[in-house]
A and B are shown apart, each in its own frame.
Chain A
Amino acid sequence: MKNGEVNHLRRMGSAWAVIAVVADLVYWFAVGPHVPPGRLTEAAKNNQMDFNILMLVALPVLLGVWVYLAYSLRVWSAKRGGPEPVGGPAAASNRRTQVLWISITSVAVLAAAAFGTVALIVDHGSGGGEGPNPVWMPTGAAKAETAALAGKATWAPGTNAVLPVQVIAQQWKFTYRYPTFGGFESPDLILPANTSVAFNVTSLDVIHSFWAYQLSIKADANQGVNNVAFTETKGPGQFVVRCSELCGIWHGSMYNYGKVVSQGAFMQWAQQTEMANAANTKLLPPFAYTYAPDANGAAGGLYPDGTVTPYNSSLTYGAKQPAS
């Protein structure tokens, strides 16, 4: 190998090493901690961490290509009148470079996939919608979900129980249902701090997406489907909920705000709302994970025999309604 060649690569390499290390450090300490979605929940915290780790890898790659481009575009510009390029087979391919490139990119890519998978499993689905049959659940979630269906779910401060909350999306609003408190419905999403929450997301009409931004929860709402997402809230704070799947003309206005409050305050709010709403709650169908009206339901006529359910008939209240 000629001296000239080594020098070029070495110069680029050293410039890159310095720039990349500085960029990574600046990113990690100055930018990283402020990256959305923040740290309001366990999922948010972990997802911020995942984003930052990916960035630590992506920045050097980006800068590597940029340094290479900047260097070569300047040094090998025809205007500088350098030597004529040497063609021939040596310039057309170089086995070592090719093998090195393929190996490095493969390792990086496989590492990223492995990292993402581990993060996904350890964090109980990372706040993403896991569908009607979640595989990575926090402890106690399955029990709480089953109990909710039987109308026996309870939640009290300090018990570490999982709080199931149903999110009912429709054009163009979200409604929240709390099966642990008699199944009342509320336009407000209030959550207790330091609690595992299971969001059961469903839709009454088209596809919506429940995106609780600071909670780092995103789960599509499909009619007749229960899409479950988990997270564990941290300290008190506010968050915004937006629909992030185009759902018709007022999609842009489909948002509201929610709060994470102390467990005591949540208990107080929930009990008060349960009492205040009791008269209305009585008229609602019993709690179920899909909220599709049947022959006897509010809108009526969609499931005449109560057996046609898309996923799991036992989870649909239509199956249990007595004939009118």
Chain B
Amino acid sequence: MTISAERPTDVVATPPSTSGAVRRGGWFSQHLGTALIAAILGYLFGHWLGNHIAGNYTPVVNSGVNDLANFFGLLFGVVGWLLGIGALNYPLAKIAGRSGTEKTPDVEGFSKYFRYSTDHKTVGLQYVIGVCLFLFTGGLLAMAIRTELLNPTTHIFAPSTYIEIVSEHGTIMMMMATSIVVGPLGNYLIPLMIGSRRMAFPRIEAFSFWIFTAGYMVIFSALPYGGFPTGWTGYAPLQNQAGPGMISYLFGFAVIGLGMMAAGFNIAVTIINYRAPGMTWGRVPIFVWSILATAALLTLATPVLFSAGLFGILDRVDQTAFYVAEHGGSSYLWENLFWFFGHPEVYIMALPAFGIVAEILPVFCRKPLFAQKVGAAGMIGVALLSFFVWQHHIFQSGINPDMRPLFMLTTELISIPTGFIFLVGMGTLYKAKIRYELPMLFSLALFFNFLIGGLTGVFLSDVPVNVTVHGGFFVLSHFHYTIMGGLLFAFMAGLYYWLPKMTGLMLNKKIGLWQFWLMFVFFNLTFFPMFIIGLLGQPRRVYTYAKNLQGLNDFSSISAFILGISFLIFAWNLAYSWFIKPEKAPANPWDSLGLEWQTATPVPVHNFDRIPVIMTDPYHYGEPGATALADLSGVSSSTGNPA
């Protein structure tokens, strides 16, 4: 496959930002501070408006609670946030009939990280900090849960507080996990890996990040409202019965959902249309494949959640009855809509993890990626099948009983394409020369953890066994093994692997090794006992349990605290390697053949001076004299056409 002669000229279009007009961002331009102020003003306005419209109506007499005021407060708060950060400048200018075509130049310097930046590299790093904030908040709540469960009879929290904590933990972690890889690594690396100078829709990309941060604040606004008691699944009619914090949950998911749809759409379009010449589908790196499959899920599954949340808000605010059986609605409607999104959602979390480890393994094995096409097919297969398994979450709920064998079958079928990832991994290890660097250790840990998570999934999908394990600690442990043991370990692998490229600074290996071993060992010691706790009959989301389970629960709790410390060590590593003792990263510290490592570090504003011409796939390790990955002197030189 050689370069097509026609494409180059339009690929080497004008660079996205006009470097001549660098804007100095002052205190009075738009940044995080103005966004916060506008959000608060928006909230106050919305709250006033809601009370003005529906002040006479409260669902509970004299409760002083007006759901419309809460909803409008949050809605206008988010609008204010977007206005304040500058997300709406361009669309508003267009609506006003002014020329919106000229690109707002990006601000240079450190303050760009607090602004509405359309550079995918800035957005990627913003996302790193954003998801870490999400992750650490959710993690703190997990520590609180484990503290409460130290003793079945002595309680640290009131039951109402405990249920708030559990619900916030689940929801925050789920929201965070939708974007933890796609956001930071997807946005930063996709253009670099496919040889593009930018994402397809830079403004939509920036929008996806800032709406994501708005979602973080919306879900937190539940706490001052007294939280919500439904867990992250938000089942109705408990949802209808819950206090005003429920609005934050419903609207929070809608806000995060907007970000997910925007990110998915932008990434899918970028991957399909912005590949460099010569980057055929067979040469697309496996990480890009995984992100493409994820983007498809983000774009197609999230609208269902968005609508379901809207129905929930209408039920509360406008007294519709979508989910209220006694008024002709159905509690099954929410269950089905939620899981129709919810199951693709868990693969939104799994697929990028597969992509990261498959991308990292060949580098540290010095061998080509084994069965790359099977791996990519597996990811697409998982993505497709994930739309047909959702009722396995509600096997015992009283759904049409005839459907259960079908969903048992589809659920078990999904382990076939998932198994492809193990084929890829194990095949790559075969007769390799393995270097145990941190990214490799974290990647290998995924195979260990995800195997346990995946196999226990087969038990859960078996309807008879599901009777015992559904709704208990067994399933809780199962999804922590897949999401935390899979996604979070892969995320760490990705950070240790790519942060040197993104920041130009190496992360300290010694501190990283402490983090890895504590995290790996105590992750397993925290969650493995939970399989047994679940089998012994402990349901999820309870503050009390059988006396004889205290030993196991305590073991799990103490391990969880040490697991928590491993994340502090990670935070320490970031602080140490970035600020205390920065060590400059070599241009290609891992000797990778990947295209993202072939540009300069730090990555120039336009990524590639010339659009590279891709010659082959990036996994030709152990092949002296193999074709170079790409002609970096680019199209322009090969066509004799200066950029």
**B-binding residues in A (CB < 8 A):** 5, 8, 35-37, 43, 46-47, 50-51, 54, 58, 61-62, 65-66, 68-69, 72-73, 76-79, 82-88, 91-94, 97-98, 101-102, 105-106, 109-110, 112-113, 115-117, 119-121, 123, 125-136, 201, 205-207, 209, 211, 213, 216-220, 222-225, 227, 229, 240, 242-253, 292, 302-303, 308, 310
Contacts and interface: CB of A to CB of B under 8 A. Distances in A.
Interface string B211-231: 000000000000000000111
B6 interface: no
B396 A209 contact: yes
Given A54-B465, A62-B451, A94-B370, 17 more contacts: A47-B465, A47-B467, A65-B447, A77-B434, A86-B622, A87-B368, A87-B620, A88-B368, A109-B412, A117-B405, A128-B404, A207-B238, A220-B398, A223-B331, A252-B544, A253-B159, A302-B326
Nearest to A50: B464
Contact of B241 (A37, A206, A252): A206
B387 interface: no
Contacts of A65: 422, 426, 447, 451
A213 B465 CA distance: 12
B431 interface: yes
Interface in B474-488: none
Given A77-B436, A126-B463, A51 B331 contact: no
Contacts of B619: 92
Contacts of B331: 207, 222-223, 225
A222 to B, nearest CB: 5
Contacts of A209: 396, 471
B379 to A, nearest CB: 15
27 contacts: A58-B458, A65-B426, A68-B429, A69-B444, A76-B432, A87-B622, A91-B367, A92-B369, A93-B372, A94-B427, A97-B427, A101-B420, A116-B408, A116-B465, A120-B408, A123-B464, A125-B401, A129-B397, A213-B468, A222-B332, A222-B398, A225-B325, A229-B396, A248-B241, A249-B163, A310-B325, A310-B330
Nearest to B237: A206
B23 interface: no
Interface string B379-415: 0000000000000001111111110110011001101
B539 interface: yes
Contact of A120 (B405, B444, B471, B535): B405
Nearest to A106: B416
Interface in B149-197: 159-160, 162-163
A211 B539 contact: yes
Contact of A112 (B412, B541, B622): B412
B536 A36 contact: yes
Contacts of B366: 78, 84-85
A122 to B, nearest CB: 10
A224 B396 contact: no
Nearest to A52: B465
B470 A244 contact: yes
B582 interface: no
B409 A220 contact: no
Nearest to A101: B423
B205 interface: no
B464 A8 contact: no
Contact of A84 (B400, B444, B622): B622
A8 B431 CA distance: 9
Nearest to A132: B398
B537 interface: yes
Contacts of A126: 463-464, 467
Contact of B433 (A62, A85, A94): A85
Given A47-B465, A54-B465, A216-B467, A131 B399 contact: yes
B374 interface: yes
B401 A50 contact: no
Contact of A116 (B241, B370, B429, B464): B464
A247 B419 CA distance: 36
Closest 7 CB pairs between A and B?
Answer: A87-B622, A87-B623, A244-B471, A252-B542, A227-B398, A126-B464, A131-B398
The CB with the most chain A CB atoms within 10 A, among B398, B423, B621, B626, is that of B398
Q: Chain A interface mostly helix, strand, loop or mixed?
A: mixed
B464 A224 contact: no
B432 A72 contact: yes
Contacts, number: 295
Contacts of A88: 368, 622-623
Given A120-B404, A209-B396, A73 B468 contact: no
B45 interface: no
A73 B429 contact: yes
A98 B465 contact: no
Nearest to A77: B434
B357 to A, nearest CB: 13
A113 to B, nearest CB: 4
B643 interface: no
A211 B471 contact: yes
Contacts of B395: 128
B399 A51 contact: no
A106 B412 CA distance: 9
Contacts of A252: 159, 162, 541-545
B606 interface: no
Nearest to A172: B159
Given A85-B622, A101-B423, A246 B432 contact: no
A322 B260 CA distance: 54
A249 B160 contact: yes
A127 B413 CA distance: 24
B173 to A, nearest CB: 16
A113 B408 contact: yes
Contacts of B365: 76, 85
B544 A78 contact: no
A206 B451 contact: no
B539 A242 contact: yes
A47 to B, nearest CB: 5
Contacts of B422: 65
B564 interface: no
Given A69-B448, A126-B464, A135 B401 contact: yes
A226 B464 CA distance: 20
Contacts of B537: 36-37, 213, 240, 242
Interface in B441-475: 444, 447-448, 451-452, 455, 458-459, 461-468, 470-472
Contacts of B465: 47, 50-51, 54, 116
A131 B458 CA distance: 23
Contact of B468 (A47, A132, A248): A47
Contacts of A121: 405
B373 interface: yes
B481 to A, nearest CB: 12
The CB with the most chain A CB atoms within 10 A, among B237, B464, B470, B542, is that of B464
Contacts of A61: 455
B159 A250 contact: yes
Contacts of A112: 412, 458, 462
B435 interface: yes
A94 to B, nearest CB: 7
Given A130-B398, A134-B401, A243-B539, A85 B367 contact: yes
Given A88-B368, A126-B463, A225-B325, A62 B455 contact: yes
A222 B325 contact: yes
The CB with the most chain A CB atoms within 10 A, among B330, B420, B431, B448, is that of B431
B419 A105 contact: yes
Interface in B588-643: 619-623, 626
The CB with the most chain B CB atoms within 10 A, among A69, A126, A136, is that of A126
Nearest to A97: B427
Contacts of B464: 43, 46-47, 50, 116, 119-120, 123, 126-128
The CB with the most chain A CB atoms within 10 A, among B371, B451, B468, is that of B468
The CB with the most chain B CB atoms within 10 A, among A83, A87, A217, is that of A87
Nearest to B155: A252
Contacts of B452: 62
